Structure 1
Amino acid sequence: MIKKIRGILIKNRLWIIVILILNFIFGGLLWLSNDKAFCYIFPTMIIGSMILYCAIAFILYKNDLKREDAIYNYLNEPTINNENQIINLFNHEEGNVIRKIGGILRENQSTINTYKQGIDEYEEYVEAWAHEIKTPLGLMTFVLDNRKDEISQLAYKRLQYVRTKMQEDIERMLYYARLKSTCKDYFFKEISLYDNCAEVIEEYKVILQEKGIDVSLNVGDCKVVSDKRGMQFIIRQIISNAIKYTDVEETEAKIVITSVENEKYIKLNIRDNGIGVKPYDLPFIFEKGFTGMVGEQRKNSTGMGLYLAKQVSEGLKIKIELNEKYTKGFEIALIFLKIIDL
């Protein structure tokens, strides 16, 4: 309050100085005319002027508070009613400016609401479609699991590949749709790092065999606290990338998964000997839509896998690191901080 009153006095200092000068001029004339009366009247006049200045400053302070509150309310809800209320606190010219600002604010708010409604409808449609597509996908899974003997081995592998890719794309799309959601349905519990890696590898078993990629899983009996579904989604994106960017000239394609544990954290390393990433591409590897410039495989890439993995990892408090020194493929690490009981 004191700072604001001081600010008001500084703002109106010109008028205060003028009035003080007039007081001193009047005091000088009074002293010339009657020096005895000067000793009584002039101090009283100065004290009265100071009291008047403070009273005016306080009144201006209260008016400024009303204007400030009215402006905040108006900016939050630029309705006609709030506009009429705020105009009463300003003069005619300022009121005209406020009316113009109100028109612009209401137009912008209407545009924002239209776009927001469209985005909400789009997200609802995406989620509804993703759930609807699970019906034919479930039927495909049922046929593959129960009619395997009636399908040729080549067709079976192709259908397994298609099913895995569909599941991967649907899951990726759902996670992307949920990124901006204010409520995350994560369920944190202690889970086995080895079991989760093994489950993801099993999902890609047919594709790995088709591509001739050998997977080495050397993860100890490590327990981490995380959301199982979210963590598997991150690992899935990394494995999918390793498969996608296999070096066609490599005769012994492989993915090596290892773990390192110390007092502070558990690190899960996933390394492949594929085409890798150029050093100048590494700073952008987690950018949305970034695919890099290396390899024919990147032509069909969306650049969303590692972007989504990074976004989900931030929600789960999993740190992702790239090994810039590894040049025989691509290596990425997931770091899980240990929870210490106090």
Structure 2
Amino acid sequence: MLKDFLHDRLPFIVLIYLSTLITILVAVLLISFSGGEQSIQTYVYMLLLATLFLCAALFIDYARHRSFLKQLYTINPHSTSLDEIRKLTHRQAPTQTTKRMLDVIRTVDVHTHDQIIQYETDRKQHETFINQWVHHMKTPMSVISLLSQEGKHQTSDDDVQTFFNDIQDENDRFRHGLELMLQLARLDHFSLDFHAEPVELAQLLREVINEEKRQFIRRNLYPQIVEDTNQTMVYSDSKWLRTVIKQLMINAINYSHHGQGNRITCTIRQERESVSLFIQDSGIGIPTHDLPRVFEPFFTGDNGRKKTESTGMGLYLARTIANQLGHSLTIDSELERGTTVCLTFTSKTL
């Protein structure tokens, strides 16, 4: 603190000594021209006198700033709360310049605080609207699904059956989009909606597959679960984990080759300190140059041009939730050979 104080006043100190030396030089020349007797003690006395007044001035200036500087240097901007920093701006300023600077900081702080409050208000209103809209859309979506199933049961015409199947497919896409939107809206409140518990991984997989069984049947795909040991348990939040697995399963369904009887294999592998879940398809794959960016929000890559319904948010949501749960999510793919996604539960999350 004192070192910085003296450093800031270094030009002032240099100027004082420079002016004193010039004064002494002028005195030497005057005495020399007048033929008078010169005394080195006089010049030393003049220098000491200048130093004494300089020290007195610096001491008075430092005493005025000491209390303010002491509080300023106790603040760590990386770990101190904003309230502690704001207290500094309400202290009595040692100089008019400092007072002006603190007034500017207070004005900026109030303006920024008001903007943050307005932003939070707008964000909450938007989130409330999204949640209400999603829940309102679930009703017509369910009605469409029921009407489609009833229509299929009341006719045997193949064209009409195909028509109702197409409606159900589009309704499923609508449902997946709503679920994705709702989960993204809930990410901000993840910690408030988190409950860790033992989860049987294979059972959770069967439930997700059963929910999407119509997608498997319509696309002529066959899910398969391969488990090293029976009843592999992991420690996680079952609801959020279901969201991750469901999103990975939907991606595997969407990007598989449909109508060819291909398999989507879910392999549960128990290792010494971890459990890994591999979801593997033999679909269109992901180009190598797109792999580093597939977890970025809104990134669709080359496949997004082939699948126009791609949002680029599915894998982003899956990895974000996995990271929040303490799991890791990685992906490996080869173009036209398929994609393998690995969800790893380490010893920290078992």
Could you state the TM-score of these two structures normalised by the residue count of structure 1?
0.74
State yes or no: 1:268 paired with 2:277. yes
Cα distance, 1:17 vs structure 2: 3.0
State how far apart, in whole Å, the 2-side matches of 1:292 and 1:100 are. 47
Equivalent residue number for residue 329 of structure 1: 338
Question: Does the CA contact (< 8 Å) of 1:237 and 1:306 recur in 2?
Answer: yes
Cα distance, 1:100 vs structure 2: 8.9
Matches within 5 A, 1:163-242: 164-181=172-189, 183-219=191-227, 220=229, 221-242=231-252
Change (3 A) 1:5 1:26: farther
| Structure 1: gaps (5+ residues) | 77-81
Cα distance, 1:51 vs structure 2: 3.0
Provide, for residues 254-304 of structure 1, a one-character-per-residue CA deviation record: whole Å limited to 9, x for no partner.
100002222221111000011111111111111222222248751121111
**Counterpart of 1:90 in 2: which secondary structure?**
helix
* Match 2:257 to one of 221, 232, 247: 247
Q: Which one is further off, 213-222 or 201-210?
A: 213-222
Provide, for residues 296-338 of structure 1, a one-character-per-residue CA deviation record: whole Å limited to 9, x for no partner.
7511211111111111112112111112468621111001111
State yes or no: 1:61 paired with 2:71. no
Change (3 A) 1:162 1:171: same
State how far apart, in whole Å, the 1-side matches of 2:136 and 2:128 are. 12
Q: Which amino acid counterpart does residue 9 of structure 2 have in structure 1? A: L
Q: Which amino acid counterpart does residue 8 of structure 1 have in structure 2? A: D
* Match 2:134 to one of 130, 134, 139: 130
Q: Which one is further off, 220-229 or 163-172?
A: 163-172
Change (3 A) 1:233 1:35: same
State how far apart, in whole Å, the 2-side matches of 1:9 and 1:191 are. 66
Could you state the TM-score of these two structures normalised by the residue count of structure 2?
0.73
Question: Does the CA contact (< 8 Å) of 1:9 and 1:57 recur in 2?
Answer: no
**Counterpart of 2:317 in 1: which secondary structure?**
helix
* Match 2:266 to one of 252, 257, 260: 257
Change (3 A) 1:36 1:323: closer
| Structure 2: gaps (5+ residues) | 84-88
RMSD: 4.5
Change (3 A) 1:152 1:268: farther
Give the paired residue count.
Answer: 325
* Match 2:295 to one of 277, 286, 290: 286
Change (3 A) 1:240 1:135: same
State how far apart, in whole Å, the 1-side matches of 2:322 and 2:66 are. 50
Question: Does the CA contact (< 8 Å) of 1:244 and 1:297 recur in 2?
Answer: no
**Counterpart of 2:284 in 1: which secondary structure?**
coil
Identity, in percent, stands at: 22
Cα distance, 1:184 vs structure 2: 4.1
Equivalent residue number for residue 311 of structure 1: 320
Q: Which amino acid counterpart does residue 293 of structure 2 have in structure 1? A: F
Equivalent residue number for residue 79 of structure 1: none
Change (3 A) 1:329 1:26: same
Q: Which one is further off, 51-60 or 256-265?
A: 51-60
